[in-house]
Amino acid sequence: MIGLISATAAGAAARDRLAAAWPDRTRVYEGPVGDAVRAAFAECEQLVCFLATGAVVRLVAPLLGDKKSDPGVVCVDEGGRFAVSLVGGHGGGANELAEQVGELLGAAPVVTTATDAVGIPGLDTLGLPVEGDVAGVTRALLDGEPVALDAEVAWPLPPVPFAPRGRHTVRLTDRAVEPVDGEVLLRPPSLVVGVGASKGAPVEEVLGLVEGALRDAGLSARSIAELATVDAKRDEPGIVEAAARLGVPVVTYSAAELAKVEVPNPSDAPLTAVGTPSVAEASALARGGELLVPKRKSARADGHASMATCAVVRRAARGRLAVVGLGPGARDLLTPRATAELRRASVLVGLDQYVDQIRDLLRPGTRILESGLGAEEERARTAVAEARKGQAVALIGSGDAGVYAMASPALAEASDDIDVTGVPGVTAALAAGAILGAPLGHDHVSISLSDLHTPWEVIERRVRAAAEADIVVTFYNPRSRGRDWQLPKALAILAEHREPATPVGVVRNASRPDESSRLTDLASLDPATVDMMTVVTVGNTATREIAGRMVTPRGYRWQEAAS
Ligand code: SAH
């Protein structure tokens, strides 16, 4: 919950806008501001105070405890010009809240946390449990001192400008080690603990068994990703409660799935009880990995039959591949999600000219693998290979990365051992359409005229089909120095089915600084004025030029009804 506190009429007006926009997330605190701040501080995860920073500093100072648990506090000034992240920038989420409040109120977010200001992620914001000298090592990173990464386990980390060696280290490990001076431990969620339990097995027994297994193997409980078991034990209280205390989810598999997993220690007992010769080992190994602790049973002091089993597996790191469309060129046509993925990746793969388009957005430490035109397959292979090594990779393309671009060659290479995310981008046909007017108001296709990868007969057949079906056509890759006869040929095919006066829109460098566009018609278009930076959109038989804009009616019948 976000507590809202204000003192003046202007503050109250801004407060009410926030309360109206986020009714379920906010609570208004009325009354004397001192009491209101104290009550909100005790009851809410975050505060937005429509007060001077000085006043808020004085009010919250005596209340501050620990940055891990204190609420995040954002101040908005009387004029509503700034949303200042005051305390709890990371732990309390105040930096993010300042951004959101700023967006809603039209105020500039003010974030002073050093790591955010210079684009280096705080070591406590990487999404992994951390131990050790977080402040000291983060300071060293900010000061440009060498900080080395010692990765015992591969994990897809966001970029951090690590040095080959240094006095400070960040150690990525699932081992039960203590941080030494100048060291930060990051705990990857690399361990899967398979558990079995007979009905009514107490939580202490399950938990004791798991903790004992980890202790003996020298592993850290903070690296447990999940407890895994058989479907039949989904609601077994001892398992559910053990997972809750460890702060991890329970994942279950059917007995049939588990029976197929090869394990070193199958036995008859679970086979009779739940229908698989192994629960603990099989569920830990169900999605692959290395068995670090084979099945062990709880030893009960009173000599009763054991009631719980467990096994520990280190799962292989799953790298992630984000296939990111950058849009046609203009920065404000790059989506916020694309920006987030670019900053999330530690390896960026792309064509050099596209890398230039977004280089300023990348975080320090991002490894950039750029290559020239024509190296598509190599780029696709590199991106997938890096992801398979456990890295967080972004593969970029202009427009939409799935449209005549890198997504298909990359995904044709990828196996299911990596996670793939696609971020859609504004493709050239849409960017051009918006400039021309509304040419895509009814059915439309895109056809690439590049016959480098596609035989001309195939392209021609598709152009003919679009011509016969009276579909609006946007030509990508319309013409280059070495390919000059394809566009006239394609236009001639369309002209067999459309009037010479059919509108044709030509857009070059849509949304880029040297953007140009013109509206002409099938009879008048001079192909020599078209190049590789251009898309050409040909209307259907209903498309008209209206007030200098290209308009394709939404539907003939709808149009009649409207007129
Ligand atoms: N993935 C890209 C298309 C790559 S094919 C996208 O979705 O837009 C390359 C062709 O796209 C170019 O030859 C040109 O025809 C077209 N194109 C790409 N960006 C363009 C832009 N900003 N303006 C006009 N045409 C563009």
d(Cα 474, Cα 519) in Å, to the nearest integer? 14
Q: What number is the average pLDDT over the span 509-522?
A: 97
How many A from CA of 400 to the centre of ligand 1? Answer: 9
Tell me the best of 477, 486, 511, 512 to mutate to test the pocket of ligand 1, counting ligand atoms within 8 Å of each CB and taking the most.
477
Name which residue sits closest to atom 16 of ligand 1, judged by CA.
476
Q: DSSP of 457-498, one letter per residue?
A: HHHHHHHHHHHHTT-EEEEES--BTTB-SHHHHHHHHHHTTS
pLDDT of residue 66: 85
CATH number of this structure's domain 320-426 = 3.40.1010.10
* Over residues 307-327, mean pLDDT: 94
Class of the domain covering 429-560: alpha beta
CB 537 within 8 A of CB 504: yes
Whether 249 shows a pLDDT value over 60: the answer reads yes
Please state which of the four CATH numbers 3.40.47.10, 3.50.50.60, 3.40.50.11220, 3.40.50.2000 is assigned to the domain occupying 2-112: 3.40.50.11220
Give me the sign of the Cα torsion angle 155, 161, 162, 163. positive
CA distance 159 to 120: 8
Which pLDDT does position 142 carry in this prediction? 81
Which long-range CB contacts under 8 A does 282-285 form with residues at least 24 apart?
Answer: 282/194, 282/253, 282/258, 283/194, 283/195, 283/196, 283/228, 283/229, 283/230, 283/251, 283/252, 283/253, 283/258, 284/192, 284/193, 284/194, 284/228, 284/311, 284/312, 284/313, 285/194, 285/261, 285/311, 285/313
pLDDT at 562 exceeding the cut of 80: no
Range of weakest confidence among 192-196, 197-201, 310-314? 197-201
**pLDDT at site 303:** 58
Ligand 1 lining (C-beta closer than 6 Å): 328-329, 397-400, 403-405, 427-428, 431-432, 476-478, 507-512, 532-535
- The yes-or-no verdict on residue 391 having pLDDT over 60 is yes
Q: What is the 3-state secondary structure (H, E, C) of 306-342?
A: CCEEEEEEECCCCCEEEEEECECCCHHHCCHHHHHHH
- pLDDT computed for residue 559 by the predictor: 54
Predicted model pTM:
0.76
Q: To the nearest whole percent, how much of the chain has pLDDT over 70?
A: 97
Ligand 1 site-directed mutation target among 324, 332, 533, most atoms within 8 Å of CB: 533
Atom of ligand 1 nearest to the CA of 478: 15
Q: How many Å lie between the centroid of ligand 1 and the Cα of residue 446? A: 11
Average pLDDT over residues 408-414: 94
CA distance 193 to 313: 6
Which residue has the least CA distance to atom 13 on ligand 1? 477
Give the residue, by CA position, lying nearest to ligand 1 atom 9: 477
CA distances from 251 to 156, 239, 291 (A): 22, 11, 17
Please state the domain extents for the chain. Answer: 2-112, 123-186, 191-314, 320-426, 429-560
The pLDDT score that the predictor gives to residue 375 is 80
What value does the mean pLDDT take over residues 284-297?
Answer: 94
Give residue 300's pLDDT: 65
Strand-by-strand arrangement of the 347-351 sheet: 367-371, 347-351, 392-397, 320-325, 419-423
Q: What average pLDDT does the segment 267-293 reach? A: 92
Q: What is the pLDDT of residues 453-496, one digit of tens each?
A: 899 999 999 999 999 999 999 999 999 988 999 999 999 999 99
**Exposed, middle or buried: residue 12 (CB in 10 Å: 0-12, 13-18, 19+)?**
middle
With pLDDT > 90 as the criterion, what percentage of the chain qualifies? 79
Which of 430, 535, 537, 538, when mutated, tests ligand 1's pocket best, judged by the most ligand atoms within 8 Å of its CB? Answer: 535
pLDDT of the residue at 271 = 86
Taking CA atoms only, the protein residue closest to ligand 1 atom 2 is 399
CATH of domain 191-314: 3.30.420.180
304 or 40: whose pLDDT is higher?
40
Instruction: Answer whether residue 399 shows pLDDT above 90.
Output: yes
Ligand 1 atom 5: residue of nearest CA: 404
User: Which residue of 332, 353, 398 sits with most ligand 1 atoms within 8 Å of its CB, as the best mutation to test the pocket?
Assistant: 398
Half-sphere exposure of 101 (CA within 13 A, CB side): 36
The mean of the pLDDT values for the chain is 92
